[in-house]
Structure 1
Amino acid sequence: MPKKAITLCYRKIIDHTNNKPWDKLVHEDSFAEFKMQSQFYNQEQKYTTFAELLLNVAGSEKLHFLVSASITGYLQQLKGIIPDVLDNLGRRFLTFENFRFELINSDIKDIIRHKIAINFFSKPLVWHDTIDNQLLVSALTEIEDEETFTNLFQLQPFVSIYSIKTIE
């Protein structure tokens, strides 16, 4: 029976309500970077929000990429492990190589209105089975031994199957 390789996406939303120290630092530093980078697109100081810049200033969509530089050091602290997603034993197990940063909302005058998302894309996993409401997965390796170590986890809000591929 053919197996399926899946890539998961976890969308971590960070705003002023997040209480974890890592989240707070990412929130504060991305806000400071947004304020600095948005100056180029707002030289006449006509706009205060990210939405206004997107609607009125050509090229301002580049702010997603420009602000993402402020959080790369924090992502390195994660050592390739996706935060917040746990298996049924309470362990963080999902690894990532890629991410996409997104400004959801921001206002240069009010950090409370600053809201971002970090979309983490997992390394490919083998999807072995679905047991009740949980997925049984293992790391995708080229050499398959007789024994495969697995993780059982429940899909939670903001986690979805990003891509799927049949493998032999």
Structure 2
Amino acid sequence: MKSIRFCYRKVIDVSSRQGWDRAVFDATYLEFYMQAQRLDPEGKHPTFAELTDNIPDAQHLHYLTSSAAIGYIRKLDDVIPDVHSTLGLPCLPFHDFKFEILASHIEDKAQHRIAISFYSDPVIWLETIGSSILITGQDNHEKLRSGEQTETELIPMSSFLSISHYTNPQN
């Protein structure tokens, strides 16, 4: 049986309107601002790109800034945001994520732009129906082998949602 993991990349910037997105935007900008001042107290490099080009320790800004998002990510209760089954229900659990700063500026909050990539737990890929993928949880492996009925989810593929990992143990 084919096992896959999904990756959903959520880009958050000044145009984001959802409450969770706005809170993450504000918190990560403030953390970026404070960390940038610590790394560059004279303010010679106001943008994220300039900081990473000129200050070796600036490579750690992704990690340092991500600390401001951790509490908000925990509020998601381990379910990937914005990804729903065809029934409109959130359905993809995650435990791994990657935070990255795409752009930012200590003097212009409107330039702050981040991405959080959420990686789903492994699921069993049953088949593709149109542009949707029929899946079931890994815990249903034995039910499938024995021919028992099992619960499934039909996930429509959409922008920023991708299959990030694939395993086919039969090969």
TM-score range, shorter chain: over 0.9
AA aligned to 2:78 is: G
* In structure 1, distance between residues paired with 2:60 and 2:119: 21
1:5-49 Cα deviation digits (max 9, x unpaired): 001100000001111111000000000000011122212210110
CA contact (8 A) 2:140 2:150 kept: no
* In structure 2, distance between residues paired with 1:100 and 1:143: 28
2:102 aligned partner? 104
* In structure 1, distance between residues paired with 2:131 and 2:9: 20
* In structure 2, distance between residues paired with 1:31 and 1:151: 36
2:69 aligned partner? 71
* In structure 2, distance between residues paired with 1:98 and 1:109: 32
AA aligned to 1:152 is: L
Question: Percent of pairs identical after alignment?
Answer: 39
2:47 aligned partner? 49
Shift of 1:98: 0.6
* In structure 2, distance between residues paired with 1:25 and 1:131: 36
Equivalent positions of 1:13-52 (< 5 A) are: 13-52=11-50
1:88-143 Cα deviation digits (max 9, x unpaired): 11111011001010000000111110000000000001000011221100111175
* In structure 2, distance between residues paired with 1:21 and 1:78: 13
1:64-101 Cα deviation digits (max 9, x unpaired): 00000001000110000000011111111011001010
AA aligned to 1:67 is: T
AA aligned to 1:99 is: F
* In structure 1, distance between residues paired with 2:141 and 2:102: 41
1:159 aligned partner? 161
Please say if 1:58 is aligned against 2:60.
no
Please say if 1:91 is aligned against 2:89.
yes
Q: Which runs of 5+ in 2 are unaligned?
A: none
* In structure 2, distance between residues paired with 1:97 and 1:88: 23
Please say if 1:127 is aligned against 2:125.
yes
Q: Which runs of 5+ in 1 are unaligned?
A: none
1:81 aligned partner? 79
CA contact (8 A) 2:78 2:95 kept: yes
Between Structure 1 and Structure 2, how many residues are aligned? 166
RMSD of the alignment, in Å? 1.1
* In structure 2, distance between residues paired with 1:78 and 1:126: 23
Q: Which piece of structure 1 moves more, 89-98 or 140-149?
A: 140-149
